[in-house]
Structure 1
Amino acid sequence: MSGLGFWRIASGDPGAAAVVASDGIVVSRGELLAWCNGIVHLLRARGARVGDRVVGVVANEPLALALALACQQSGVYYVPVNTALTAGEISYIIGDAQPVSVFTSARFSDVVSAAADAAELPADARFAFAASEGFISLPRVLDTLPTGAPEARTPGAFLGYTSGTTGRPKGVARALAQGDPDDVFAEGAQWQLGMFGIEPLASGVHLVTSPLSHTAVSGLAVTSLHFGHTIVLMERFDAEHVLQLIQEHRVTTTHMVPTQLHRLLRLPADVRARYDVSSMRNLVHGAGPCPESVKRDMLAWFGPVIWEYYGATEAAGTVIDSMEWLARPGSVGRPQPGAEIRILDAGRNDVPAGQSGAVFLRMGALAFVYRGDPDKTLAGRHGDFVTVGDIGRIDEDGYLYLLARMSEVIVSGGVNVYPAEVEAALLEHPEVRDAGVIGRADAEWGEMVCAVVEAVPGTPLADAGSEATSLLLPFLQERLARYKVPRRVEIVDALPRGENGKLRKHLLPALVEKVSS
């Protein structure tokens, strides 16, 4: 691993660009390293010990990356918190994590202040990336601290909290690694980025299109720094601005979610043709099912540079490249290096290839516990394997196909309907901007298929109201079996997606009732 690892790379070439902020300001590797080291000195001055937690409620700005890097070389767990959460939700995480310090961007200072008050976090444990009432200014503190490498460096880690859509979120904690942080994270980068065919150094430029408050997004960005790549930050996702940045910075890698791919494809053809995206070598997507039509159109546009993965905060999963996917459309791939996948029935017995069941992932070296919840830790386990509630099947060649979440399967007339399949068909309609599918109680069918649709503004569908179901019916009947076609379609202004692009399906029933009332 000689030569890799951010701290080693930055020390060797401090003048090179490390981060391009959303306002265009360039932060050098040397500057980012100085901030990173200064934060370690700050944490240690506050008494942080190996295994302690640090919470970040942060925007997409360079100091957020410095904070993550600081935790990675000081033996503490970094807890990135979803910036869309309410004060009450953030307060719960602060209370559960019991951090030595909380860091926030100025734009979130009001909600974090309320959360910290509710969690009774001491005033001297609150830091902001810019002057904010009730917080200590991190830049001012850093001006007073050493910037040299701290002594006794030891690897820290991310501690991600599950989304909490079925209950209170829980932190997924793993044992900390041992060794030199440069070597540990260089090896981790070789595994994580290597599975997507991403190469170290080689003038790599990684574009961040989603909030750094999400573990996968922050993790890939920081890992790219360990590979010697420059990070380009977007403040928020905007489809055309993504293309502008790819062209301007000759972006080579990025991570997106299917919703973002769909919105790129919804740009007018002349806008898409305006930008050169030929620099892209590895466009990685995950965090939700991707409709086949979206994937094919992206491949036709960007070429065979698209990689898909499936996994969870709890365990590694699968990966698939463009050519494999074209040979097996709909698959999310075969196990990542060192991973293993099993499909089990209700009795937790292996099922034959081609049959569906619960997807179980082998934890191996990634064994974890849900912080403070031993019962939940054991509930989803089967030996060295864990499930996060997904249903799927594996073909004869070991490729995984996901069908649904156990909690999302709709049983209509005794037949299983998988929402992702219906959503994919809806998204093919030119007037559908976004869609979510749920089951609603029905006296005759047990459950009926209900679609919640965000229409393209100014189209007939956007003004269809109660006629939306009949308007979409002919289109869907050509693509879906009769029992899968939604019996009810509700048009809404916007679907409740988190900042990471994931649809918050648990909110759809209430949204449907509101529209219907």
Structure 2
Amino acid sequence: MEGTVKCSANYVPLSPISFLERSAIVYGDRVSVIDGSVKYTWKQALERCLKLASALTQLGISYGDVVAVLAPNTSAIYELHFGVPMAGAILCTFNVRHDSAMVSVLLRHSEAKVLFVDHQFVEVARGALELLSLTKSKLPRLVIVPESHKQSHIASISNTNFNSNTLDYEGLLLLGKPEYEIKRPKDELDPISLNYTSGTTSSPKGVIYSHRGAYLNSLAAILLNGMSSMPVYLWTVPMFHCNGWCLTWSVAAQGGTNVCLRNVSAKGIFDAISLHKVTHLGGAPTVLNMIVNALPSERKPLPFKVEVMTGAAPPPAQILFRMEELGFNVTHSYGLTETYGPGTVCAWKPEWDSLPPTEKARIKSRQGVYHLGLDEMDIKDPVTMKSVPSDSKTIGEVMFRGNTVMNGYLKNLEATEEAFKGGWFRSGDLGVMHPDGYIELKDRSKDIIISGGENISTIEVESVLFSHPAVLEAAVVGRPDDHWGETPCASVKLKEGCNANAEDIIKFCRDHLPHYMCPRTIVFEDLPKTSTGKTQKFVLRAKAKAMGSLIKKNNSKL
């Protein structure tokens, strides 16, 4: 339109690093981070992040370089979420459950120039660098984050040839200058972070986030979590996972307080809520399960209703119900690494208030509708790309498009094009669309069990297993079967002090499910998990495959 101009007065590339600058002004003297005995205000947080960015620049980090970190939820990894992009670099957060071999692979793939490592994981980093040196790749500078911000024990890796390449985190910050001029993104679609997928279904892929996507998803996360100004957020979600669902930046936008929790436990959660008056926390259903099964001696009364965002695996309805009984208000979200974490929310409707508690919990366990940062979400036939009917039963693939979908996979154009085929991001998750426009997941495309021509949703079977009074955790995969093709195989962990045998559990399932959906094999074991609480079903599938086929006479009985 005639008379319009685009200039610095009316256009600035969106970036969540601006949240920190504003909070240092608006909330300057309020506490920004609590990490054990360490506390910083928002003014101090900005100064430390500017010095961090300045020091990185002095190390030779330039625009577009990758800086990696291997650390649990601490003040250091929080500062890196701002300091690294302020230097124009890309933050790459590693899962703390990775071993040296995997860290080495990811360092080589990401070409990280610097690796920050928490003191707890120095040996993992040492092993990774030794492996990386064998590939003739250039080694990253190593920065150790000491315990409680004391001088780091660099001597702990003294038997390596990496000492000359090793720095101390607090010592590094001393090199930086607080008057550092921030290197803002040249384009808001420039990368801000690199997140490797959890590897629950396949080998990890490097997912690229943009400044724009991170900015918009951070604002969406504020709305999803019902955050007013100055929340107190307890970090039970790993900051290395989808940048803490982008809440690392969200809390800064609202001038909140970040309460770091290095090791997540029921006692740690209740203690932190009581001590710091926590208003919000999040986590996979594993964390919710931990809370509802806390020992009486671990529980403390809540100072007020605490808001909880859950995601990852679909939460069993009964877990949601029990959380509500304890005084938590649970909001269910759903998303993937490729959607910056949560992409949907089960938005509550007033007309549901009159429903019975069990029905409320069942409705809350649905995945809901897309948030405001996205443009569209649909359930489609992956071949025809036509929307499935909103009949609550026709299964299709969940697909997204919008501003909070990844830029792509690092160095994997083929996978990126496949994921975006048809102009939508294909999640690989299967679900149905309800008449009210809310979606409900039925399974991962790789997890669905096809038995005798029938599709079996492992999510539905797991939900019934969770309702058994003796079951603490459960996961279902397909086991090869000469007659049916495959049949449900359930891995179950019992609650402490409870007893149940395979026959009891199978009978319980048959009382609540069609017989073809019921597990025919029960394995009692601890479930293998990712650090974000997702069950590693590929491990369970391999075990089930190794069991071989059920014998036919057992099939005929069941």
- Is 1:394 the counterpart of 2:433? The answer is yes
What is the CA–CA distance in structure 1 between the aligned matches of 2:17 and 2:91, rounded to whole Å? Answer: 25
TM-score using structure 1 length: 0.89
- Is 1:344 the counterpart of 2:380? The answer is yes
The equivalent position to 2:529 in structure 1, one of 477, 480, 497, is: 497
1:154-233 aligned at under 5 Å gives the runs: 154=185, 157-177=192-212, 185=215, 189-199=218-228, 201=229, 203-217=230-244, 219-233=246-260
What is the CA–CA distance in structure 1 between the aligned matches of 2:94 and 2:257, rounded to whole Å? Answer: 24
Contact 1:77 1:158 in 2 (8 A): yes
The equivalent position to 2:517 in structure 1, one of 454, 470, 484, is: 484
1:316-465 aligned at under 5 Å gives the runs: 317-323=343-349, 326=360, 328-337=363-372, 338-347=374-383, 348-354=385-391, 355-364=394-403, 366-461=405-500
Aligned letter for 2:92? V
1:239-278 aligned at under 5 Å gives the runs: 239-268=266-295, 272=299, 274-278=300-304
Give how far 1:17 is off: 1.1
- Is 1:127 the counterpart of 2:143? The answer is yes
Higher mean alpha-carbon deviation, 160-169 vs 371-380, is at 160-169
Aligned letter for 1:431? A
Contact 1:439 1:449 in 2 (8 A): yes
Alignment length (residue pairs):
497
Aligned letter for 2:376? E
The match for 2:103 is: 90
Give how far 1:482 is off: 1.1
Higher mean alpha-carbon deviation, 506-515 vs 368-377, is at 506-515
Aligned letter for 1:503? T
What is the CA–CA distance in structure 2 between the aligned matches of 1:392 and 1:236, rounded to whole Å? Answer: 34
Partner SS, residue 540 of structure 2: helix
Higher mean alpha-carbon deviation, 404-413 vs 383-392, is at 383-392
Give how far 1:407 is off: 0.3
Q: Please give the per-residue CA displacement for 1:41-88, whole angstroms capped at 9, x wherever unaligned.
A: 122123323222111111221111111111232332211110101111
What is the CA–CA distance in structure 1 between the aligned matches of 2:90 and 2:313, rounded to whole Å? Answer: 26
The match for 2:324 is: 299
Contact 1:175 1:368 in 2 (8 A): yes
Give how far 1:263 is off: 1.8
What is the CA–CA distance in structure 1 between the aligned matches of 2:311 and 2:184, rounded to whole Å? Answer: 33
Contact 2:86 2:183 in 1 (8 A): no
What is the CA–CA distance in structure 2 between the aligned matches of 1:126 and 1:160, rounded to whole Å? Answer: 20
Contact 1:211 1:236 in 2 (8 A): no
What is the CA–CA distance in structure 2 between the aligned matches of 1:161 and 1:482, rounded to whole Å? Answer: 39
Q: Please give the per-residue CA displacement for 1:181-227, whole angstroms capped at 9, x wherever unaligned.
A: xxx84x6533321233222x2x3100011432222526313321222
Contact 1:217 1:255 in 2 (8 A): no
Contact 1:210 1:234 in 2 (8 A): no
Partner SS, residue 382 of structure 1: coil
Contact 2:462 2:474 in 1 (8 A): yes
What is the CA–CA distance in structure 2 between the aligned matches of 1:496 and 1:365, rounded to whole Å? Answer: 30
What is the CA–CA distance in structure 1 between the aligned matches of 2:220 and 2:171, rounded to whole Å? Answer: 37
What is the CA–CA distance in structure 1 between the aligned matches of 2:504 and 2:103, rounded to whole Å? Answer: 42
Higher mean alpha-carbon deviation, 39-48 vs 228-237, is at 39-48
What is the CA–CA distance in structure 1 between the aligned matches of 2:80 and 2:382, rounded to whole Å? Answer: 43
Give how far 1:388 is off: 2.1
What is the CA–CA distance in structure 1 between the aligned matches of 2:288 and 2:201, rounded to whole Å? Answer: 27
The match for 2:179 is: 148
Cα separation, partners in 2 of 1:329 and 1:209, compared to 1, 3 Å = closer
TM-score using structure 2 length: 0.83
Contact 1:277 1:302 in 2 (8 A): no
The match for 1:238 is: 265
Q: Please give the per-residue CA displacement for 1:290-332, whole angstroms capped at 9, x wherever unaligned.
A: 11111122223325x3211111122363112355773835421
The match for 1:73 is: 86
Q: Please give the per-residue CA displacement for 1:112-153, whole angstroms capped at 9, x wherever unaligned.
A: 122133234655611111223343112112123212343444
What is the CA–CA distance in structure 2 between the aligned matches of 1:39 and 1:57, rounded to whole Å? Answer: 17
Contact 1:363 1:384 in 2 (8 A): no
What is the CA–CA distance in structure 1 between the aligned matches of 2:49 and 2:527, rounded to whole Å? Answer: 38
Cα separation, partners in 2 of 1:513 and 1:350, compared to 1, 3 Å = closer
What is the CA–CA distance in structure 1 between the aligned matches of 2:458 and 2:375, rounded to whole Å? Answer: 27
Note the aligned Cα RMSD (angstroms): 2.7
Cα separation, partners in 2 of 1:447 and 1:287, compared to 1, 3 Å = same
Contact 2:344 2:369 in 1 (8 A): yes
Aligned letter for 1:413? G
What is the CA–CA distance in structure 1 between the aligned matches of 2:296 and 2:375, rounded to whole Å? Answer: 40
The equivalent position to 1:109 in structure 2, one of 118, 122, 134, is: 122
Q: Please give the per-residue CA displacement for 1:157-188, whole angstroms capped at 9, x wherever unaligned.
A: 2221112344432111244449xxxxx84x65
Higher mean alpha-carbon deviation, 9-18 vs 324-333, is at 324-333
- Consecutive unaligned residues of structure 1, counting only runs of 5 or more, are 179-183, 462-467
Higher mean alpha-carbon deviation, 29-38 vs 479-488, is at 29-38
